[in-house]
Amino acid sequence: MDMKKVVAFKVLLVLALTIATTGCKKSSSSKNSSRATGWQINSREGGFQYNTDFKEQETSPGLVFVEGGTFTKGRVQDDVMHDWNNTPNQQHVQSFYMDETEVTNAMYMEYLDWIKRVYPPSDENFRAIYHGALPDTLVWRNRLGYNEVMTENYLRHPGYGEYPVVGVSWIQAVEFANWRSDRVNEYNLEKAGFLKRDAKIVDVNPESTFSTDTYVAAPSLTYGGNEEVINPERGNKRFARTDADGNETNIYATRETGLITPKYRLPTETEWEYAALGLSEIRSYNLYRGRKKYPWDGQYTRNGSRKFRGDQLANFKQGKGDYGGIAGWSDDGADITNAVKSYEPNDFGLYDMAGNVAEWVADVYRPIVDDEFNDFNYYRGNVYTKNAISEDGSVKVVTVDDIVYDTLSNGKIVARNLPGEILQVPVDENETYLRTNFDKSNQINFRDGDRRSSRNFESFNEDDEANGKKDETRKMYNSPKNVISRDSAGNIVREYDKSNNRSSLINDEVRVYKGGSWKDREYWLDPAQRRYFPQDMATDYIGFRCAMSRVGSKSKEKQKKKN
């Protein structure tokens, strides 16, 4: 064949292959040009601003990743307590993050230090804020036991710094999580150049604080509108743009930047139980279907490996008068709580999901889990709110004069909101009209406590009140209603409910707590076990850990492959 023809043939072949492969490839448009319109994204001259370099959510301080999936929630073994409140049901959980340990005394002391610095208890206006956040150290006292060393030292002494905090009510745990969310986002924005460096220390006062929700909804109102803090001279200009007059706009971080993380919160009961089981490495059919008894493998509480054979795998009460075993060989290493990370983690990397302290979860307690209505991210306790709007159309930010205090059933006063936060109000008909997924703000009683709960209740308290009648015996969960208030002099006034018509200890203010504690027998170490306690009270055996929702991909490994 002629050499020229050979060369021409090769050129045509290469050209044909190039055309063929180009046709199979995706569009080669830049990631900064819109696939919808072709317009440029993140242009300095204007247009849509968006973080096109975002890979995946970074793991926030203290958390570990828990990949979601399906599991059997509840017990499948005999219920010797005859509670019948944890009937097995199949649930699916989205991926989320959870604290690798319980919140420790040192972590909680950092919270108290911040409150004391920003809202000094020496000021009459703020005294209740600090006192309302203090754990109840008197929970250690026992009528026939000497525990004053814990009463005086457990919270503050560095010898207990890495021990789980106790004496914290559910309400206090929620407030800690809210505070933690703001501090982490404040640090992230400061690190990224959207806030003045060290503002979190030198520029904070009662009227000038950082709130994540306020920054998202009205960034110019954070830090009391202090321009020097919220728009530093040498700030992050990546998402800034120029308007028609040459002025810089879009100088604040928005959710589109990917810098603002989801909030720390208490885990739901379903999340906690799923995480405690640690099913990530377990594929055995029986275990997968819900027959795993503890956060670790096997049916026993002692280590079966050759090197550590016989060591206890958790901190719990082993028998009457036996809180740790015989000193030495049989000891579990603790008589009360123990330092976090004293025992091996489960397959998710979570420590003490059985023993040490039981833990608050987000859910309001009900004897049933209504898996017929929902089997995805199950949670009972939704109360939907929205931002309060002022007459001028702006969001209403709480000031010192707007602080609302609640008097709890134990007489303690807690702040319901803090300066710098956006005032929250219940959603109304504007949000619920013609909706099929929710119809009012408070959904706690849905299908278990409201009119739709049972055919056996012809009338409920809500109907009677509408007709000017009050018959508490007709309400499904009519626990005693003790009333506590304060008179004009500030003295506590207690009114005890002595009615004989009460038929339940359950109400909308009791929350689920999970896991066994140093004070519990082995039976309660099963992650499926569930108990409840008033949300405004505390004990020496209930602590908590925080969780955070994951945005984006379900799996970290699949996201890495995609990137």
Tens digit of each residue's pLDDT (9 = 90 or more) over 210-260: 999 999 999 999 998 888 899 887 666 666 655 555 556 668 899 998 999
Report pLDDT for 473: 44
CA distances from residue 237 to 26, 49, 233, 252, 257 in whole angstroms, order as listed: 32, 12, 10, 9, 12
Specify which residues 92 forms β-bridges with: 70, 376
Helix (H, G, I), strand (E, B) or coil at 21: helix
Report pLDDT for 45: 66
**Average confidence (pLDDT) over 139-145:** 96
Amino acid at 291: R
pTM for this prediction = 0.89
- Supply the mean pLDDT for the chain: 85
Q: Assign 461 a pLDDT band (cuts: 50, 70, 90).
A: low
Q: E-strand spans in 413-475?
A: 413-415, 424-426
- Comparing 156-170, 289-303, 492-506, the range with the smallest average pLDDT is 289-303
Q: Assign 562 a pLDDT band (cuts: 50, 70, 90).
A: low
Which of residues 166 and 400 earns the better pLDDT score?
A: 166
Report pLDDT for 279: 77
- Comparing 122-131, 257-266, 500-509, 525-534, the range with the smallest average pLDDT is 500-509
Q: Give the span between the Cα atoms of 195 and 192, in whole angstroms.
A: 8
CA dihedral (210, 211, 213, 217) positive or negative:
negative
| Phi, psi torsion values for 289, nearest 5 degrees | -80, 5
Which of residues 508 and 77 earns the better pLDDT score?
A: 508
Q: Give the span between the Cα atoms of 166 and 173, in whole angstroms.
A: 10
Residue (of 56, 32, 200, 9) closest to 559 by Cα position: 56
Summarize pLDDT for 462-499 with one digit per residue, the tens: 555 455 555 444 567 888 888 888 788 878 888 888 88
| Phi, psi torsion values for 286, nearest 5 degrees | -65, -40
Tokens of 252: 């604040």
Helix (H, G, I), strand (E, B) or coil at 322: strand
Q: Assign 439 a pLDDT band (cuts: 50, 70, 90).
A: very high
**Average confidence (pLDDT) over 321-340:** 84
Is the pLDDT at 283 greater than 90? The verdict is no
Summarize pLDDT for 22-38 with one digit per residue, the tens: 554 444 456 788 888 88
Q: E-strand spans in 382-450?
A: 385-387, 405-407, 413-415, 424-426
Report pLDDT for 333: 83
Note whether 215 and 274 are within 8 A (CB): no
Q: Assign 280 a pLDDT band (cuts: 50, 70, 90).
A: low
**Average confidence (pLDDT) over 49-55:** 86
Which of residues 400 and 113 earns the better pLDDT score?
A: 113
Report pLDDT for 287: 45
Q: Assign 381 a pLDDT band (cuts: 50, 70, 90).
A: very high
Contacts of 71 (CB under 8 A, 6+ apart): 90, 91, 93, 273, 274, 277, 279, 288, 290
Tokens of 449: 């406590």
Which of residues 487 and 375 earns the better pLDDT score?
A: 375
Note whether 75 and 523 are within 8 A (CB): no
Which of residues 284 and 431 earns the better pLDDT score?
A: 431
Report pLDDT for 290: 47
CA distances from residue 343 to 101, 346, 448, 466 in whole angstroms, order as listed: 11, 10, 39, 55
Is the pLDDT at 8 greater than 90? The verdict is no
